[in-house]
């Protein structure tokens, strides 16, 4: 029988662990577990199996440890794990950290750009996003996917595996991802304004990177990340919108250290 250290190098165990991490993370962000709830391995194994994810004990333990490393779970002194809760201050900080890291990525992308052709993927994604405006309920899922692709391409252009890893870690926090957006009805003034502001940010960012203007690209990326703050602030005023955002159930509303803005 393999010990946990050996199982990390077993392709089958690694595959099971990866599938379990994805499935449990989705369950956590979907609200299947509440903050402070204890998660035990045996009942969790059964729930995963019911969902079509079959995982043995050691890969499951590795998956839970991975989610604890991400900050979604924390070890319980007597065994097992409990679901973490997040204050609004935690979420604001995660968004600001993501903005700082994305700003660095945009600056490096501008400084390390080798040829204008390297921006073809970014420009193509921008054009596809542009074609979806104004955003509405029907095309919103496609908009989110393309928006994620746009951000990912900027990160790739930074040519920094270490930075990419840091961004990936931050994105695992609820609401920190560029895709953590919720729009109301198509006629909503906020929705229309936010989508056009995001469009202008994307356009200007491509221009700054193409011109090798690192400082400008960094400032634009950081300003762009603040749309997530505005979106969350709006969602906090509308419970129906908030419930539609993955991870909302993990936020403890009464424990913010500073006011939403």
Q: What pLDDT is attached to residue 214?
A: 98
User: Which residue, among 85, 94, 246, has the nearest Cα to 170 in the 3D structure?
Assistant: 94
pTM as predicted: 0.73
CB atoms within 10 A of CB 245: 19
**Domains of the chain in sequence order:** 4-84 (1.10.10.10), 87-255 (1.20.120.530)
Q: What pLDDT is attached to residue 259?
A: 37
- Identify each DSSP E strand in the chain by its residue range: 38-39, 73-75, 81-83, 86-87, 251-252
Q: Provide the CA 18 distance to its chain's centre, in angstroms.
A: 17
User: Which residue, among 118, 129, 114, has the nearest Cα to 224 in the 3D structure?
Assistant: 129
How does DSSP assign 200-251, residue by residue?
A: HHHHHHHHHHHTT-HHHHHHHHHHHHHHHHHHHHHHHT-HHHHTTSTTGGGE
Q: What pLDDT is attached to residue 224?
A: 92
Could you list the pLDDT tens digit for every one of the 261 residues in the chain? 444 334 444 545 558 888 898 899 889 888 899 999 999 888 999 999 988 888 998 899 999 998 998 888 999 888 889 999 888 888 888 889 999 999 999 999 999 999 999 999 999 999 999 999 987 777 877 888 899 899 999 999 999 999 999 998 888 777 777 866 544 444 455 567 778 889 999 999 999 999 999 999 999 999 998 887 777 777 677 666 666 666 778 887 654 444 333
């Amino acid at each position: 029988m393999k010990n946990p250290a050996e199982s990390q190098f077993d392709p089958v165990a690694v595959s099971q662990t990866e599938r379990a991490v994805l499935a449990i993370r989705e369950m956590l962000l979907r609200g299947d577990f509440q903050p402070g709830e204890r998660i035990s391995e045996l009942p969790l194994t059964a729930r995963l199996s019911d969902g079509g994810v079959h995982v043995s004990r050691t890969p499951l333990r590795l998956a839970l440890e991975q989610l604890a490393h991400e900050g979604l779970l924390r070890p319980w002194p007597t065994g097992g794990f409990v679901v973490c809760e997040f204050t609004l201050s935690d979420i604001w900080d995660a968004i600001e950290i993501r903005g700082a890291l994305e700003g660095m990525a945009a600056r490096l992308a501008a400084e390390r750009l080798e040829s204008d052709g390297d921006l073809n993927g970014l420009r193509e994604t921008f054009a596809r996003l542009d074609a979806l405006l104004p955003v509405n309920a029907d095309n919103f899922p496609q908009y989110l996917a393309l928006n994620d692709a746009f951000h990912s391409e900027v990160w790739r252009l930074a040519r920094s595996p270490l930075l990419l890893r840091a961004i990936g870690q931050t994105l695992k926090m609820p609401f920190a991802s560029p895709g953590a957006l919720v729009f109301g009805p198509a006629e909503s003034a906020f929705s229309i304004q936010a989508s056009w502001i995001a469009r202008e940010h994307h356009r200007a960012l491509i221009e700054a990177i193409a011109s090798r203007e690192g400082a400008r690209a960094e400032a634009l990326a950081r300003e762009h990340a603040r749309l997530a703050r505005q979106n969350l602030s709006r969602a906090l005023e509308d419970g129906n919108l908030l419930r539609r955002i993955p991870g909302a159930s993990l936020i403890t509303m009464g424990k913010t250290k500073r006011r939403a803005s």
